[in-house]
Amino acid sequence: MTKKILALLAAYLVCFSLFGQTGNPNNQRQPKNQPTNNSQQPPPQDQTPIGGTGSSYSPSSSGSAFGNGLLHILELDGVAGSLNQGGPQSINGILNSVRIAGSALGGTPEFFKEDSKTTPSGGFPKIRYSHQLSDNTFIGIVASLGEKSVTETTTTSTSNRYTTDKITTTTNEWKVKYGWGPLNLNTSNNVSYEFSIGYGQGKTSGDYSNFGLKLPGFSSGSSDGMSGYAIGFGDLRYNITTLSLDYGVAVPMWSWMNWYFRGDTSFFWGTLSLSSAQLGIDTGSTAGAYNGLDFNAFKSKDGFFAGASGFTMTFETGFVLKPFETFGIRFGGFYQLTYFSVGEVKGPSISGGQVVEAGTVPNLSSTTDNEQFGNYGGTVGLVKNL
């Protein structure tokens, strides 16, 4: 279904580019009965002479189809299936690595290595729309509805314990921007810039599951006879608010290609909640042994310092191929650096038959240093100046 939606949107933009181009004022025919007069009359004050070199704003040079010369830009972010990432992750996608360590292994966790990976799995593409208000200011909106992603975390312990967590979530998010710009990726003659501030919100809900396996250990050719397994499931929810600084530049290289760079720094805060249960059987008593029953139901406090909060910095660069003056195909790469903290939480946690506050559970967030990490990948999209 998602591929059909993307195909229809792409076909619409291509057809709009083919049949919706404005006429080039430089190619207009002269009237046949034009009088010959050597004296030159000054052009009207509200028009710019053809071929003039003035610095006035020109619709044709900006790629805008509106007579008033103001830009209206629609951009669709796609997903490159062959890449590990479909584009910079949303804040909610990054927070998928958060979980209670006790719900993953039970008891006191003992870890050797942990690998985490988030992959987009569908949903409506991210839409960016920019509406220029004057020569120097614009307002824009970025929205994504039904964005789906899967986060898998594999943990290996020093006692032959292997655990796989899987989080499948759906996110709805939006952001409004206002500032100097907008960034015109289809610019033809001049360098285009953008600097704006943004405010947005995102809501995420999804399923949590895990599977753990303890294999017997071997020493001096003999087995220690200890083994076990665990199965868990749960529900995960976020409610996040963001403030951002967005900036970028687009530079014409040839008539058919532009280079661009853009980035943003986002500060976020909000609430995070997780309810999970796990059943386990274990013949050993080593560190991280699976308990018969583990249960967690916690919710973080709200606020920038008390709740789930942090910041992320994203840098993206690439090229825009322009088969038409007002239509481009964008492709590039990105790097994203993130730091976040779960903050204070409250709620019950049952582990090994004992009931404690979730806030006292050690290693509440991800079991390794995923609180501070970077990810990278590719990004593709379509750009149309309306």
DSSP designation for 48: -
For residue 241, the model assigns a pLDDT of: 94
For residue 343, the model assigns a pLDDT of: 74
Q: Which residue has the higher pLDDT, 45 or 135?
A: 135
* Whether residue 375 has pLDDT greater than 80: no
For residue 376, the model assigns a pLDDT of: 79
Q: Which residue has the higher pLDDT, 169 or 289?
A: 169
Distance CA 245, CA 385 (A): 23
Taking residues 360-380, what's their average pLDDT?
A: 60
The vertex-84 CA angle with 248 and 112, nearest 5°, equals: 115
Read off the pLDDT of residues 25-77 as tens digits, 9 standing for 90 and up.
Answer: 333 344 444 444 444 455 544 444 433 333 333 333 444 444 567 999 999 98
The vertex-273 CA angle with 268 and 278, nearest 5°, equals: 140
For residue 359, the model assigns a pLDDT of: 65
Give the tokens for residue 222.
């003999």
For residue 65, the model assigns a pLDDT of: 46
Distance CA 151, CA 128 (A): 25
Read off the pLDDT of residues 145-177 as tens digits, 9 standing for 90 and up.
Answer: 888 888 887 877 777 778 888 888 888 999 999
The chain-wide mean pLDDT, for the chain, equals: 75
Q: Is residue 86 classed as helix, strand or coil in its secondary structure?
A: coil
Confidence of residue 127 (pLDDT cuts 50, 70, 90): very high
> Which pTM value belongs to this model?
0.73
Read off the pLDDT of residues 258-273 as tens digits, 9 standing for 90 and up.
Answer: 999 999 999 999 988 8
Residue 324 contacts residue 14 (beta carbons within 8 Å): no
- Of the candidates 350, 295, 311, 273, the residue with the CA atom closest to the CA atom of residue 98: 273
Of the ranges 173-182, 253-262, 370-379, which one carries the lowest mean pLDDT score?
370-379
Q: Which residue has the higher pLDDT, 97 or 18?
A: 97
| CA-to-CA separations, 145 to 6, 127, 198, 259, in angstroms, rounded | 14, 9, 18, 29
For residue 92, the model assigns a pLDDT of: 65
As a dihedral over the C-alpha atoms of residue 15, residue 16, residue 18, residue 24, rounded to 10 degrees, the angle is 180
For residue 218, the model assigns a pLDDT of: 65
Confidence of residue 372 (pLDDT cuts 50, 70, 90): low
Distance CA 361, CA 363 (A): 7
- Of the candidates 195, 193, 202, the residue with the CA atom closest to the CA atom of residue 178: 195
For residue 63, the model assigns a pLDDT of: 47
* Whether residue 365 has pLDDT greater than 70: no
